[in-house]
């Protein structure tokens, strides 16, 4: 599978103005996994988690999704990330990927375009699996900022920071 994320997005994106590349939101699937393992998710406070994510990223689905649909997808993403971190070979992400991604073949070759933000998350998961991508916590000044840094950058050169803001904090 050839996953070309740098040519990923349609213009305009199906989810609106949100641009994960401009915001360097390359760890979205990892942050969802963190939320799923957190106590707030288990205690039924998923509404606030969904509200925060949709405020930041726009809707995760192309349609108005129910709370149960969000819960199910967040849990599947969380489980896939957990299995990747355990180096499991039994991750069945293809049905999820197929449900949220469109395969396009043209003069540029074959690439996958997400139909929604969940498609973007599943493409990040597919990329992790196919290319053996690992993540480290971004630790500017020795304190975790809540973001992750990929071993294989989506754009630019490899960095030990999630973005320019953390780089500046670390060098201060």
Query: How far apart are alpha carbons 47 and 35 in whole angstroms?
Result: 12
52 and 63 both lie in a single domain: yes
Contact 148, 30 (CB under 8 A): yes
Checking if the pLDDT of 78 tops 70, the result is yes
120 and 109 both lie in a single domain: yes
Rounded percentage of the chain residues whose pLDDT exceeds 90: 2
Q: Which of 96-100, 133-137, 147-151 has the lowest mean pLDDT?
A: 96-100
Phi/psi at 15 (5° precision):
-100, 5
**Residues sharing a CB contact under 8 Å with residue 136, sequence separation 6 or more, in sequence order:** 148, 149, 151, 160
Q: What is the pLDDT of residues 27-57, one digit of tens each?
A: 889 988 888 876 656 656 777 888 887 787 7
3-state secondary structure of 139: coil
Query: In angstroms, what CA-CA distances link 29 with 85, 106, 127, 170?
Result: 13, 28, 11, 25
24 and 109 both lie in a single domain: yes
Structural domain for 59, as ranges: 5-133
Query: How far apart are alpha carbons 154 and 140 in whole angstroms?
Result: 20
Residue burial 122-148, b: 16+ Cβ < 10 Å; e: rest: bbbbbbbbeeebebeebebeeeebebb
Query: How far apart are alpha carbons 170 and 107 in whole angstroms?
Result: 43
Q: How confident is the model at residue 131 (pLDDT cuts 50, 70, 90)?
A: confident
73 and 35 both lie in a single domain: yes
Predicted TM-score (pTM) of this structure: 0.80
58 and 126 both lie in a single domain: yes
Average pLDDT, the chain: 78
Strand partners, 110: 105
43 and 112 both lie in a single domain: yes
Contact 118, 61 (CB under 8 A): yes
**Per-range mean pLDDT, top range of 86-90, 100-104, 142-146, 167-171:** 142-146
- Split into its structural domains, the chain has a count of 2
Checking if the pLDDT of 6 tops 70, the result is no
């Amino acid at each position: 599978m050839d996953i070309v994320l740098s040519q990923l997005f349609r213009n305009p994106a199906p989810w609106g103005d949100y641009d994960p590349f401009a915001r360097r939101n390359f760890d979205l699937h990892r942050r969802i996994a963190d939320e799923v393992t957190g106590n707030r998710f288990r205690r039924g406070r998923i509404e606030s988690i969904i509200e925060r994510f949709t405020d930041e990223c726009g809707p995760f689905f192309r349609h108005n999704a129910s709370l149960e649909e969000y819960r199910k997808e967040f849990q599947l993403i969380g489980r896939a990330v957990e299995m990747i971190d355990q180096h499991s070979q039994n991750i069945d992400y293809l049905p999820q990927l197929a449900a949220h991604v469109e395969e396009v073949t043209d003069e540029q070759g074959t690439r996958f375009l997400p139909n929604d933000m969940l498609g973007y998350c599943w493409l990040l998961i597919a990329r992790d699996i196919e290319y053996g991508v690992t993540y480290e916590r971004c630790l500017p000044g020795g304190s975790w900022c809540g973001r992750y840094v990929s071993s294989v950058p989506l754009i630019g050169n490899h960095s030990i920071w999630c973005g320019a803001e953390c780089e500046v904090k670390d060098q201060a």
